[in-house]
Amino acid sequence: MPGAVVVTAPVRDASGQVVAGLTVSAPSMRMRPPRPRAWCPQVLDARSSLSQLLGDVTAAPGQGNERAKRADLADGAVDETHGAASAGPHSIFR
- Cα gap 93→82, rounded to integer Å: 8
Query: Residue 54: is its pLDDT beyond 50?
Result: yes
- Cα gap 94→3, rounded to integer Å: 17
The per-type count for the chain, helices as H runs and strands as E runs, is 2, 4
Identify the residue with better confidence: 91 or 81: 91
* Amino acid making up residue 88: G
pTM for the full predicted model: 0.61
Phi, psi of 63 (to 5 degrees): -105, 10
Under the banding of pLDDT at 50, 70 and 90, the label for residue 83 is: very low
